[in-house]
Every structure is written in C-alpha cells, then in structure tokens.
Amino acid sequence: MSAALEQRALKVSIAMTLVVAGLGVVFGLLAGSRSILFDGVFSSLDAAMSGLALGVSRLAVREASRRFQHGYWHLEPLVAALNGAILLLLCFYAFLNAVQGLIDGGHLLAFDMAIGYALAVTLVCTAMTLHQRRLNREADSEFVRIDMHGWLMAALITGALLVAFAIALWLQQTRYAHLTPYVDSLLLAVLTLGFLPVPIGIVRRAMKEIFLIAPSAVDREVQATMAPVMCREGLLDYTSHVAKAGRGHFIEIHIVTRPDFAAGRGMGELDAIREAIAAGLSIPPERRWFTVSFTADPRWT
C-alpha cells in the first residue's frame, strides 16, 4: 500500500468535503431547508473525521517506538469507531428533528435554490467517488475505502434530494401545493434513515478489530498454509492465533516438535519452516506482526 497515495487521497477528500459542507450550510440557511443544512453539518463532521484519519494514517506507517512497541495500527479502528459513532448520533438527532418538523406542520423553502445546490453537490460527489475508487485500487486503504463509500452515499442521497425538490417544485403548480411545506422535513427523515447503514457498518467493522475478533479469511489462510508444513517429520502439532487492527495483522503460530527435532541443521531448519509459512501468506510483510515459535512441551503453546 502506498502511504503517500493514501494521504494524498485523504487531503483531496478533506478539501472537497469542506467545499460541500460550506455549500450545504450556506444554501441550507438561504433556502430555509433543514435537509440541506443537515447535509452540510454531516459533511463538516466528515471532514473533521477525515482530518483525524489523515493524522492516524501518518502514524500507522511509522516504525514502532519504545512506548508503542506494536506500532500504531491499533489507532485506526479506534478512529473509525469514533467516526461512525458521531455520525450515528447526528443521524438520530436529525431524524428526531425531522419528526418534530412534520408534527409542527412543516415549513416552506426556496425550491429553486435547493435544486441548484442538489445538482452541484451531486456532480461533485459523483466525481469524488470515481476519483477515490481509482486511487484506492493502488492505495488499498481502509480509510480511503470508507471515504469512497461516504462520497457514494452522498452522491446517491443528494441525487435523491434533487429529484424530490424538482417534484416538489412541480407540486406547487398543482392542487397538491398544500403538501409542499412537509417536503423538507420528510426528506430529512428519509435522508437520515438512508445515511444510517454507513455509520452502522463503520462501527461494526471497527468493533470487530477493537475486540480482536479473528478475521475468518486470515484464519483459513493460516490453516491452509500450515497443512503442508505439518507434514514434515518431527512436527507434531500447532496452535495459531490471528487478529487484525487497522491495516495490521497479528499472526502467532506455536509449533510442537519432537525433543530431538532440528538436532542436525539447528536454527537453519527452523528458519526454513518460518520462510515456508511466510511464503504461503498473502499479507505483505509490512502489514503483519508475524511470530513462529517452536517447543517440545505442549504447555508453551
């Protein structure tokens, strides 16, 4: 993974998110639209979280220090969980605000201005989705992937707002004009419900890593790699432990051998086994904490 490419992608995203956030707040206030204002506030928080993610991505590629001897990978799921939790709370508050607006009878807004905003932001979000997807093919970053999905959701939802505002503008010319004051609050309710899968998914993935739940794909890969290795004479049994934190994978393998194993070749044979196991893993060396130990006593596994 290219750390420089990841950081460049996040910097571009932060800049464009701030532009979208500014448009949302300004147009939301001018048009009197709660749904547009929510979109702007959501984007502002997203920019703040992207800035935090950028800082963590810089730490994550550093070498381990005396204080952080396992590196900084563990910070990535913590930031992702914080990001998801804040966005989840924002969606919940905005949904309650929308329900209150519907109960109060809604309010009028400037649909022509709202349509102009929705059209501009839909184009920006679509362009950013394609841009981040292209960069992440090479960067292979969880942060950029989350960011790309965020832009995609924003494009889809703002596009839906564009269609809804256009329909509401048309309704003003019909006998259903009395329903248009409810459009904004109804859109805000739908908008928040549409956003919910994004923070829920972010929190769910982050909590798996925070609680060190073994990733099944990595566990299966380790088992498949160990199968031919354990056919060697003198190897009796093994245990393995895997976990994932951010971009880092922690893999521990403890092999039980006969007491006289490797008596002839010594450390060279042990290192050859380590090399064979490492060659069977798809995770690149810079993204894994890899340990293979040997013992003749099963108690130490």
CATH code for position 116: 1.20.1510.10
Pair 247, 271 in one domain = yes
Q: Report, as ranges of residue numbers, the positions in the chain whose pLDDT lies below 70.
A: 1-3, 60-66, 69-70
Q: Any alpha helices (H) in 104-173, and if so which ranges?
A: 111-139, 142-171
174 burial via Cβ count (<10 Å: 0-12, 13-18, 19+): exposed
> What Cα–Cα distance (Å) separates residue 50 from each residue in 61, 84, 144, 215, 248?
17, 12, 9, 25, 20
Q: Give the pLDDT of residue 65.
A: 66
Closest CA to 29 of 106, 121, 113: 113
Q: List the domain range (segments joined by +) for residue 128.
A: 3-210
Q: Give the pLDDT of residue 2.
A: 65
Among 186, 210, 234, give the residue marking a domain's end: 210
Pair 203, 248 in one domain = no
Pair 157, 225 in one domain = no
- CB-CB neighbours of 125 under 10 Å: 24
94-122 per-position pLDDT tens digit: 888 888 888 988 877 788 888 999 999 99
Pair 74, 221 in one domain = no
- Asked if 76 contacts 245 with a C-beta cutoff of 8 angstroms, the reply is yes
Q: Give the pLDDT of residue 61.
A: 66
How many structural domains does the chain have? Answer: 2
Residue 235, phi then psi, degrees to nearest 5: -95, 125
Pair 71, 150 in one domain = yes
Among 151, 186, 210, give the residue marking a domain's end: 210
CA-based max dimension of the chain? 94
Q: Which two tokens stand for residue 105?
A: 């009878």
Pair 252, 172 in one domain = no
Pair 48, 195 in one domain = yes
61 burial via Cβ count (<10 Å: 0-12, 13-18, 19+): middle
- CB-CB neighbours of 204 under 10 Å: 11
Q: Give the pLDDT of residue 252.
A: 95
- Asked if 206 contacts 77 with a C-beta cutoff of 8 angstroms, the reply is yes
Q: Give the pLDDT of residue 50.
A: 75
Distance of alpha carbon 146 from alpha carbon 81, whole angstroms: 12
Distance of alpha carbon 121 from alpha carbon 134, whole angstroms: 20
Query: pTM higher than 0.85 for the full model?
Result: no
206 burial via Cβ count (<10 Å: 0-12, 13-18, 19+): buried
Q: Give the pLDDT of residue 228.
A: 94
Closest CA to 77 of 271, 212, 181: 212
